[in-house]
Amino acid sequence: MPSPATQRTLPAATARLPLAARRAPVACLAALLLAACGTFGGLSTEKREELAEFQRRAKLYLEGRKWDTALRMVDKGLAIDPQDYNLRAVQGACLFELRNQDPDNLRRAEVVLDAVYQERDPEDHRPYLLFDYAKVKQELGRLHQARAHVLERETTNQDLTDSERTVRRARADEHQRRALECWAAASVAFDALIDREELLRFAHKGLMEIAVERGDYAGAVAHAEACLTRNTTEQEAARAVIAETMTPGFEIEKRKELQDLIEQELRIRAALAEMYYGRGQYADAVTQLDLVLRADPGRSTDYYNRAKALEELGRIDDARRDYEKFLGTTNLPNDDDKVQRAFRFTQPG
């Protein structure tokens, strides 16, 4: 299954209709006419064609990960139709991807996607809009929680006055509240995708990550397993296509897609193993890491994690072998805590 970015298509006129209009044929026809007028009213044929070309180019540059160029196409298109749904959605997605270049881009993405999201009910949005909106809210939630944790740690500073400590605690509570609000909004969008059976693998992965952040172990495991189920289905489909295709270019594309699926599977299984270990389910953790290391024997950290679980299970010889494999493959410095622990465990006596 392609990534969400490759599934972006220009919205048809009916995509602008509200939910009620789609449920009544007469109202639907009237709304369709209004939507068409709202989109193209006053635009010449030349301008409509120019707008469509900017839409097409923005989408292609987004899929090609050329975010800045895509934004230039968006700006040109929005100069023609400032309310264009597709272009604003691409704008929000690009700003999110450029958040590491400028932290303010995350806020800009939120403003853009919030405005588009509020125009319709979740079930009426294009799937890529829901996904990008959810990603932005999820990331904002993570940042708010990280800030809350910093402020909470600061309250333990003995040099603070009672007043300063109270202020920091209040700010921490506010950031935690905003984190929960962001994750709730992201969850609504991800749930809408699941209800519609669209982008299932990505939606379950997002919900798993949110559940982990919130400390919801049962929810995280459930979504991780659902993500793996969907991942397996898509791997099987990709392998079937690869076996049958006679087109080299298409086969290369499907093989890359299959490799992306395999890498995601390994990341999800490693995350599951970490959750199982944290809950004392050491045998379940080992089972997941067995699958990970069978598929990719070069994952150094997973040898370390499996060794810890094996150690808890009393399988000392197996744990020692994994610690030795970790030491033989890791790039961590010798004074790293993990390296020191593994080294001590492998020493005689």
DSSP code string of 269-309: HHHHHHHHHHTT-HHHHHHHHHHHHHH-TT-HHHHHHHHHH
Average pLDDT (148-173) is 95
Instruction: Give residue-wise pLDDT tens across range 106-133.
Output: 999 999 999 999 999 998 999 999 999 9
pLDDT at 40: 53
pTM for this model (two decimals):
0.81
- How far apart are alpha carbons 323 and 300 in whole angstroms? 9
User: Which has more confidence, 233 or 5?
Assistant: 233
Confidence of residue 242 (pLDDT cuts 50, 70, 90): very high
> Is the dihedral angle over the CA atoms 194, 199, 200, 204 positive or is it negative?
negative
- Cβ neighbours for 92, distance < 8 A, ≥ 6 positions apart: 109, 112, 113, 116, 132, 133, 136
pLDDT at 46: 93
Residue 282, CB-side half-sphere exposure with 13 Å CA sphere: 13
Residue 35 pLDDT more than 90? no
- The Cβ of residue 166 has, within 10 Å, a number of other Cβ atoms equal to 12
For the chain, how far is it from start to end, CA to CA, in angstroms? 52
Instruction: Give residue-wise pLDDT tens across range 49-95.
Output: 999 999 999 999 999 999 999 999 999 999 999 999 999 999 999 99
Confidence of residue 42 (pLDDT cuts 50, 70, 90): confident
